Amino acid sequence: MTYDIAIIGLGPAGIQAGIHAGRRKNKVIVFGKKEESALNYAHLENYFGFKEKIEGKELLEAGIEQLKRAGVDILEEDIIKIEPLERGFKLITEKEKEFIALALVLAMGVKRKKSFFKREKDFVGKGVSYCVDCDAWFYKGKKTLIIGDGSSAIWGAKFLTQFAEEVYFYFSKGEIPSEEKEALIQKGVKILASKPIEILGEREVEGIKLEDESIIKVDGIFIEQGARGPLELLAPLGIELDLETFSYVKVDKKMKTNVEGIFACGDITGPPLQVAKAVGEGCIAGLSASDYVSKIKKEI
């Protein structure tokens, strides 16, 4: 499916970008999950225009309705891969659906990294990794465990089977959706019912202890919480990050990144992490992406 503009993120930044881009008569799609937006958990007292405290959840629902009225499509799935094309970008969702767009708006918010084990930090780079894309290669023919609570972990487990001899998987939040569970089993992934509680090893990861007291030998542990964050998703595109923390996407005043056709807005571009900033930047990103698409269409 082909779109003028694809927006990744169904939070205030992505929604506002979508409203402005949609009202400019572009064909627009927004990917993301409203429950994953930081706004879903906020109670706002510092946002313009409300006499009383407003629940973030209500603001999100209202924004999504506006988005629909602007003629924008919404797909509540995570993007797990972005590939640059000669003109535009190919996006692949967690359910392996493919989309093509001329311009991209990144509005994925920030990933609040949660550690899983007490001694996890001691093993970073010594068997513990947060990036399957980056490190799967090092585990060719080895035994690995992947832990996570969302689409990036499920995708990561499938991806790891192309390299590792053995892939164990622990889903840390509720049940794995049945369709996904079937796909994992078919790929030979061993799903753990008991929670991993301790990393074993002196200097490097040697194994893992589970809550039921059993021990599994593994060489590598991947921790992939939530959806794919900016660092994992954007690394192959050569998007420039801020030089101080390498955590935020660098943009100019038009919300352009260093890659032609890619714009960014909201928490992903750095502090202040506030709704007012997210919607302001979303507006600019939506309009800038629209201008870019008009220019490209004239050239075609």
Residues binding ligand FAD (CB under 6 A) = 8-14, 31-33, 36-39, 41-42, 44, 46-47, 78-79, 107-109, 227-228, 233, 266-268, 273-276, 278
Which one, 218 or 234, has the nearer CB to ligand FAD? 234
* Shorter beta-carbon distance to ligand FAD: residue 72 or 218: 72
As measured in angstroms, the least distance from the Cβ of 100 to ligand FAD is: 16
Smallest gap, in angstroms, from Cβ of residue 225 to ligand FAD? 12
Indicate the SS3 state at residue 102.
strand
CB of 183 to ligand FAD, least distance (A): 19
Give the shortest CB-251-to-ligand FAD separation in angstroms: 12
Cα–Cα distance, 149 to 223 (Å, whole number): 9
Asked if residue 230 has a cis previous peptide bond (ω within 30° of 0), the answer is no
In the complex, what is the shortest distance from the CB of residue 286 to ligand FAD, in angstroms, rounded to a whole number?
12
Cα distance between residue 26 and residue 300, in whole Å:
16
Shortest distance, position 290 Cβ to ligand FAD, whole Å: 18
- Residue 290's contacts (CB-CB under 8 Å, 6 or more residues apart) are 4, 5, 20, 21, 24, 26
d(CA 254, CA 11): 19
Q: For ligand FAD, give the closer residue by CB, 12 or 261.
A: 12
Looking at the Cβ atoms of 14 and 220, the one nearer to ligand FAD is: 14
Q: Which residues of the chain form beta strands (DSSP E)?
A: 2-8, 28-31, 43-44, 54-55, 73-75, 79-84, 89-93, 98-106, 128-129, 143-148, 166-171, 190-191, 196-200, 207-210, 215-217, 220-224, 262-264
Give the whole-angstrom CA distance, residue 109 versus residue 247.
11
Taking the complex as a whole, how short is the minimal distance between the CB of residue 293 and ligand FAD, in angstroms? 20
For ligand FAD, which is the closer residue by CB, 10 or 205?
10
Which of 67, 79 has the CB closer to ligand FAD?
79
Q: CA–CA separation, 253 vs 82, rounded Å?
A: 24
List, in order, residues 6 or more apart from 255 with CB less than 8 Å away.
105, 263, 264, 265, 269, 281, 284, 285, 288
Closer residue to ligand FAD, CB minimum distance, 62 or 276: 276
Amino acid in position 244: E
